[in-house]
Structure 1
Amino acid sequence: MELTVYLAGQIHDDWRQELKELASTQGLPVQFTGPMENHDRSDNIGEEILGEQPSPVYKDEAASQLNNLRTRVLLEKSDVVIALFGENYKQWNSAMDAATAVALGKPLILIRPPQLHHPLKELSEKAQVTVETPEQALQSLAYIFA
């Protein structure tokens, strides 16, 4: 059995790569997917496909439509979603992806530091597992194969 795992969460650090390397080291049969990590491409994809937009607002709307399409398709194809919430960045996309995963009935592993317990309490209640580190999330995945 191989699982497809969607990695939702902040895109401004290398937590995804670290998790992928750790999973590979452990020999876990998982395939990872996630949001567009190239921030410039994510911001400009609307104009790349639809052409120049008349204002920054329209540029953002065009990009968000295409990013939402990509995210929805990949979330629907996933078996499990891991959503990381850190302290350094606003987490709107993480919250949206995690809420979408819950709405689609996808199992959710939520990673959040203890100090974010209160603002994420409702989402944590919807998750199958809430952990504090990416390593704990990976251990949770590994348990599926035990």
Structure 2
Amino acid sequence: MRLTVYLAGHVHSDWRNDFRKLARSHDLPIDFVGPMENHDRSDDIGEEILGEQPNPILKDEAASQINNLRTQVLLNKADVVVALFGTSYKQWNTAMDASAAITLGKPLILIRPGELHHALKELSNKAQVVVQTPEQAIEALAYIFATE
């Protein structure tokens, strides 16, 4: 059995690569999907596909349409969603993806530091598992494959 895991969270760090390495170190049969990790391409994809837009707001709207398409398709294909919340950046996209996963009935592993407990209490309550580190999330995924 293989799982497809959607990695939701900010694109301002290398956390996804680190998470994939952790999964490989545990020899987990997981395929990872997620948002576009090239932040510039994500911002420019609307114009790349639809052509130059007349102002920055319409450029953002065009990119949003294409990115939302990607998110919806990949979230629908995912078996599990892992959403990482950090304290360094506003986490709007992470919250949106985690909420969409819940709406779609996808199991959610929420990674969040303790100091975000209050801010994320409702979302945490809907997640199947809430952890504080990526390593703990990997252990939760590894347990799915455990036989003893």
Q: Is TM more than 0.5 here?
A: yes
User: Structure 1-normalised TM-score?
Assistant: 0.99
Match of 1:133 in 2: 133
**Helix, strand or coil at the partner of 1:81:** strand
Is 1:3 aligned with 2:3? yes
Offset of residue 15 of structure 1: 1.0
Matched letter for residue 16 of structure 1: R
Offset of residue 10 of structure 1: 1.2
Match of 1:89 in 2: 89
Q: Which runs of no fewer than 5 residues in structure 2 stay unpaired?
A: none
After the TM superposition, which residues 5-44 of structure 1 pair with which residues of structure 2 at under 5 Å, given as runs?
A: 5-44=5-44
CA distance in 1, matches of 2:19, 2:60: 30
Segment drifting more, 86-95 vs 13-22: 13-22
Offset of residue 14 of structure 1: 1.0
Q: Which runs of no fewer than 5 residues in structure 1 stay unpaired?
A: none
Match of 2:64 in 1: 64
Match of 1:75 in 2: 75
Matched letter for residue 113 of structure 1: P
Matched letter for residue 112 of structure 2: R
Matched letter for residue 139 of structure 1: E
Identical residues among aligned pairs (%): 72
Root-mean-square deviation (CA), in Å? Answer: 0.5
CA distance in 1, matches of 2:23, 2:69: 27
